[in-house]
């Protein structure tokens, strides 16, 4: 949860420079928790996080310097924390902001994909700050944005998918969730929205995880190789000992007698190491060939 809160604090400090992006981000806050009351008597934006409420206030002031605004604070009924309301109390001002929000341009009107990439990023940032969370990457990779409104969830889904990210949509306890599971996709989204510090944290965790996984793979591979070597050596020793029960090793052809004696003397040596003990040394494949001859001979002895 700390990682998610830190990410939101970082994004709450990102103020778009372009007017269109400010409106696009405000449209996200309105889609999630905004209301035009009394036929335009006043316009409200609700939020439980003071830094996000201050950002909404800042965006309105930056986009509409002449518009009057209020910041109201009250305790939520069903929650212990407070709810912050950014209000545009003058009807003419409320309609001005509302018309601007509803006038955002879409490249795809049906799916509500915003026309400009910069505005799309601002909208996704507003959606995440409104009802989003991201899991600490030390645990798992998961980012989600939830809402009760189907059209809003669909809009978020399509705007994220416009960046070729593998967004998915599902339902949970009456809410609709748009979520990402891939580390690459989450990293891209953090970068798009301006959460660069959070992105650095995620990448650092990924590096550590990748190194740990690589070490584990190497250890497992080495362990498997050791076990394979031991099993092969035991099979070879059994073959030599079986041959000994039927004849003297000196009765074998010299090359086979030599490698059989070396195997008994060096039960844990690899084939390569055995080959280096022979004078002159022979290759690993040469040792293996002789060992296979001994195993074949032992099987023929019954």
At 26-55, the pLDDT tens digits run: 999 999 999 999 888 999 999 999 999 999
**Is 150 a domain residue?**
yes
Same-domain status, 178 and 275: no
- Is the pLDDT at 219 greater than 90? The verdict is no
Same-domain status, 151 and 252: no
Same-domain status, 92 and 216: no
What are the helix (H) ranges across 247-283? 254-265, 271-277
- Among 8-17, 161-170, 191-200, 247-256, the least confident range: 247-256
> Rg of the chain over CA atoms, in angstroms?
35
Task: Determine the pLDDT at residue 1.
Answer: 65
Domain count, the chain: 2
Q: Which residue has the tokens 């507003």?
A: 126
Residue from 83, 85, 39, 86 nearest 67 by CA? 86
Same-domain status, 230 and 103: no
pTM above 0.85, yes or no: no
Q: Is the preceding peptide bond at 280 cis, omega within 30 degrees of 0?
A: yes
The domain in which residue 61 lies consists of: 2-194
Helix axes 196-246, 284-300, angle to 10 degrees: 50
Same-domain status, 155 and 289: no
């Amino acid at each position: 949860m700390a990682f998610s809160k830190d990410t939101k604090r970082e994004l709450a400090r990102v103020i778009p420079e372009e007017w269109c992006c400010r409106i696009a981000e405000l449209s996200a806050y309105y889609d999630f928790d905004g209301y035009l009351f009394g036929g335009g008597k006043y316009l409200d934006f609700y939020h439980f996080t003071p830094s996000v409420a201050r950002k909404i206030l800042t965006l309105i002031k930056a986009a509409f310097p002449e518009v009057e605004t209020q910041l109201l604070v009250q305790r939520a009924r069903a929650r212990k924390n407070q709810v912050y309301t950014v209000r545009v109390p003058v009807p003419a001002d409320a309609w001005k902001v509302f018309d601007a929000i509803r006038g955002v341009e879409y490249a795809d009107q049906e799916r509500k994909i915003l026309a400009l990439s910069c505005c799309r990023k601002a909208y996704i940032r507003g959606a995440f700050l409104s009802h989003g969370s991201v899991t600490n990457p030390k645990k798992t990779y998961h980012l989600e944005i939830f809402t009760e409104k189907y059209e809003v969830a669909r809009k978020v889904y399509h705007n994220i998918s416009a960046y070729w990210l593998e967004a998915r949509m599902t339902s949970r306890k009456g809410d609709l969730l748009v979520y990402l599971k891939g580390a690459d996709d989450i990293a891209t989204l953090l970068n798009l929205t301006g959460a660069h510090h959070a992105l650095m944290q995620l990448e650092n965790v990924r590096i550590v995880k990748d190194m740990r996984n690589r070490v584990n793979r190497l250890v497992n591979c080495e362990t498997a190789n050791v076990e394979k070597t031991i099993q092969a050596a035991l099979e070879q020793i059994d073959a030599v000992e079986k041959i000994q029960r039927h004849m003297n090793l000196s009765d074998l052809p010299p090359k086979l007698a030599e490698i059989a004696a070396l195997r008994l003397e060096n039960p844990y040596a690899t084939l390569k190491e055995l080959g280096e003990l022979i004078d002159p040394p022979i290759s690993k494949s040469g040792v293996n060939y002789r060992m296979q001859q001994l195993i074949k001979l032992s099987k023929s002895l019954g």
